[in-house]
Amino acid sequence: MNKMQSIRKDWNLIESLISRSAKVLDIGCGEGGLIKQLEENIQANTRGIELSPDLARKAIADGLSVVQGNAEKDLDQYSNQSFDYVILSQTLQAMVKPRDVLLELLRIGGKAIVSFPNFGHWKIRLQLLLTGKTPITEGLPYVWYETPNIHFFTIKDFQALCKQSNIIIEKSIALTSKGRQFEISPGISGANLFTSEAIFLLSYQNFTPIKLQSKQKTFVSNSALVN
Amino acid sequence: MGKTTAQIQKNASLECDIAVFSNMDCKLDSGFNLKDFQIAFKTFGNLNANKDNAILICHALTGDQYVSETNPITKKDGWWSRMVGVNKPIDTNKYYVICSNVIGGCAGTTGPKEINFQTNVPYGREFPAVTVRDMVKIQNYLIETLSIEKLFAVVGGSMGAMQALQWTIDYPQKIQNVIHIAGALKHSAQNIAFHEVGRQAIMNDPNWNKGGYNKNNIIPERGLAVARMIAHITYLSDDAMHRKFGRKLQSRDIISFGFDADFQIESYLRHQGRSFVERFDANSYLYLTRAMDYFDLEKKFSTAIEFSPIPNQHIRYLIISFTSDWLFPTSENRKIVKTLNYFTRNVSFTEIETDKGHDSFLLDEPELDSIIKGFLDNNYNKIGSHE
């Protein structure tokens, strides 16, 4: 499978996780291919942010609302819960503080969609075991000294981080290097071994307000209690 | 208020249209009630049947209505003819482009140089102070006169960017897209300082005669030239100046040990000053620099966006800045982007890398061309069929 098909597959999966006409922010949107697809296919109301001036300009010239900016510095300009979905595709591993970025996603959006290359894939483990050198794969194709990917982590690592941060994993989908996809669930063993790329749909626990039951129709005010 | 209409006349010597407004009640920010005034403007291309292809271009401090084709006053190309025209990025085959001289200007619109109909002498210092908001208010009268309900886009750089931003606040229902190039939410202290030096140069020229120079037919040309020389430095960058002039000497091999224009940069600035005097009115320069100084949306912008009495969510914004622009730096342009993003508006932003300084927006910047063209054309295609 070539790189382009792989990206498309990723996009189609992401699209399938998003409801129609949703408000979507794509962080690290590149030329805006994904948000354009979302606008065309599901009438999403989209915005993008992209670090590379050239890519941002291509997206803008394509009629998309994209700002040139840095995912680690410029996310504070978006207000709380201003998007239905915030997407971070294949970028988390390149962040200096991935945890902070992850929390920002769920501050800005009701749901976050995060995809990343799984460092726990068997080929990577085998490469490291047999060669003793930092693995180079399709998903992580750079040599160690010039890679933008500065954090290597596995599906298990990510699941643990979500748990620790009280983030709910609503859905997680695995893509194998052959392009097969399956849902990652506790029932399926070996997901961490066979997944080359994972896509997570995340949200915070929706706290429903506790309803107090009372037979009295009027509540006693604080001041009345003091008296 | 009802629809404004004016008489539109062709002016042969200025090679443009003049909209004459009479007996209006145009209250300016200063409180002055402007009754009779005229706006000099030019249009390019044709308004389509749906009237959805009109683009208003707002000029900068010393610009005019001659945005494209030949400027009849200077006999040179219009100030943005590389951007606007047939098959240009803002393509007049497709769009109906309107560009008007701002109120207080000196290319045919009512300003200090023009005759005050009530006294029959040029306004001079009697002309009321104008603000960017006044400029936009009067542009809106023109748009109403042309029976255009919605502008497809308002585009401007520098003082033009200020006007474009003001449009989004005062008449959001009348605009679809806005392109704001090298502007800011406010004129900074440093910018005001440079303007003040320019104004002092003019007002300290004995020929200025407290603004009444038109009566004697002599103009404060030395003061105005110095004002232009100072301002011109602020439009360039250190790198660009160095690249273009360095320490090269002008028409000589050795320094003169005197105060002639030894260096090319001196000669260049003197030339800029001299040619400016031929085309610009000193009083207009005072009034328009003042209008820019008074521009300050820093505190108001966010409230104006959030609590606009008129819906403004539909506006698509494109904000552009240049790396070497120190007069309207990227950081100031970004403030606008941040506010718009905070309210989840349709905003695009890019910073173009160039060493040409603030003037970049008028110069050959291929990236600027392609982004403006793409932004306009793609958003134009989105609004359906155009007849």
Q: How confident is the model at residue A6 (pLDDT cuts 50, 70, 90)?
A: low
Neighbours of B232 (CB within 10 A): 15
- The CATH code of the domain that includes A37 is 3.40.50.150
Which of A23, A68, A77 is closest, CB to CB, to B342?
A: A77
A87: three-class secondary structure by DSSP: strand
Query: Would an 8 Å CB–CB cutoff place B382 in contact with chain A?
Result: yes
Kindly give, in sequence order, each residue whose CB lies less than 8 Å from that of residue B208, ignoring residues fewer than 6 positions away: B202, B220, B223, B282
pLDDT per residue as tens digits for the range B244-277: 999 999 999 999 999 999 999 999 999 999 999 9
Smallest CA–CA distance from A52 into chain B, residue: B350
Is A92 within 8 Å of A117 (Cβ atoms)?
Answer: no
Q: Count how many pairs of residues, chain A against chain B, have C-beta atoms within 8 Å.
A: 66
Give pLDDT, residue B98: 98
Would you say residue A70 has pLDDT above 50? yes
Kindly give, in sequence order, each residue whose CB lies less than 8 Å from that of residue A1, ignoring residues fewer than 6 positions away: A9, A177, A178, A179
User: What residues of A are in contact with residue B367 (Cβ under 8 Å)?
Assistant: 57
Q: What distance in Å separates residue B95's CA from the closest CA in chain A?
A: 17
Under an 8 A CB cutoff, do A78 and B344 touch? yes
Would you say residue A223 has pLDDT above 50? no
Number of domains in chain A: 1
Query: Would an 8 Å CB–CB cutoff place B353 in contact with chain A?
Result: yes
Q: How confident is the model at residue A3 (pLDDT cuts 50, 70, 90)?
A: very low
Under an 8 A CB cutoff, do A57 and B349 touch? no
Q: Would you list the DSSP string of A132-186?
A: -S----SSS-S-GGG-S------HHHHHHHHHHTTEEEEEEEEE-TTS-EEE--T
pLDDT per residue as tens digits for the range A17-44: 999 999 999 999 999 999 999 999 999 9
Q: Tokens 């499978």 — which residue?
A: A1
Q: Domains in chain B, start-ordered, CATH in brackets?
A: 7-186+291-382 (3.40.50.1820), 191-289 (1.10.1740.110)
A121: three-class secondary structure by DSSP: coil
Query: Would an 8 Å CB–CB cutoff place B84 in contact with chain A?
Result: no
Under an 8 A CB cutoff, do A64 and B344 touch? no
Q: Would you list the DSSP string of B64-132?
A: -S--SSB-TTTSSB-TTTTTEETTSSEETTT-EEEEEPPTT-SSSSSSTTSB-TTTSSB-GGGSPP--H
Which of B348, B353, B381 is closest, CB to CB, to A65?
A: B348
Give the Cα separation of B287 and B215 in Å (integer): 19
| pLDDT averaged over every residue in chain B | 95
Which of A57, A65, A78 is closest, CB to CB, to B346?
A: A65
Find the helix or strand (DSSP H, E) in which A125 lies.
helix A122-131
Would you say residue A104 has pLDDT above 50? yes
Q: What distance in Å separates residue A143's CA from the closest CA in chain B?
A: 29
Smallest CA–CA distance from A58 into chain B, residue: B371
pLDDT per residue as tens digits for the range B82-138: 999 999 999 999 999 999 999 999 999 999 999 988 888 899 999 999 999 999 999
- Chain A interface disruption, residue of B176, B181, B350, most A CBs within 10 A: B350
What is the Cα A222 distance to its own chain's centre?
Answer: 45
Give the residues across from B27 on adjacent strands.
B33
Quote the pTM value.
Answer: 0.92
Under an 8 A CB cutoff, do A68 and B318 touch? no
Mean of pLDDT values over B69-92: 96
- Chain A interface disruption, residue of B180, B341, B368, most A CBs within 10 A: B341
Which of B342, B350, B370 is closest, CB to CB, to A68?
A: B350
Is B358 within 8 Å of B238 (Cβ atoms)?
Answer: no
Q: How confident is the model at residue B385 (pLDDT cuts 50, 70, 90)?
A: low
Query: Would an 8 Å CB–CB cutoff place B371 in contact with chain A?
Result: yes
Would you say residue B192 has pLDDT above 70? yes
Under an 8 A CB cutoff, do A64 and B348 touch? yes
Under an 8 A CB cutoff, do A67 and B337 touch? yes
User: What residues of B are in contact with residue A68 (Cβ under 8 Å)?
Assistant: 349-351
Query: Would an 8 Å CB–CB cutoff place B179 in contact with chain A?
Result: no
Q: How confident is the model at residue B185 (pLDDT cuts 50, 70, 90)?
A: very high
In percent, how much of chain B has pLDDT > 90? 93
Give pLDDT, residue B117: 82
B77, B50, B29, B82: which is closest to B369 by C-alpha?
Answer: B82
Tokens of B17: 């249209």
Q: What distance in Å separates residue B177's CA from the closest CA in chain A?
A: 11
pLDDT per residue as tens digits for the range A127-169: 999 999 999 988 889 999 999 999 999 999 999 999 999 999 9
User: What residues of A are in contact with residue B341 (Cβ under 8 Å)?
Assistant: 47, 67, 77-78
Interface of B with A in 191-230 (CB under 8 A): none
User: What residues of B are in contact with residue A66 (Cβ under 8 Å)?
Assistant: 348
Tell me the residue range of the domain where A128 lies: 3-226
ipTM of the complex: 0.92
Under an 8 A CB cutoff, do A63 and B382 touch? yes
Under an 8 A CB cutoff, do A78 and B342 touch? yes
Query: Would an 8 Å CB–CB cutoff place B305 in contact with chain A?
Result: no
Active site residues of B: 158, 325, 358
Under an 8 A CB cutoff, do B370 and A57 touch? yes
Q: How confident is the model at residue A224 (pLDDT cuts 50, 70, 90)?
A: very low
Give pLDDT, residue A213: 65
Give the residues across from A67 on adjacent strands.
A49, B349
**Helix extents (H) in B204-351:** 213-216, 221-235, 238-244, 264-279, 282-294, 300-306, 330-342
Give pLDDT, residue A8: 66
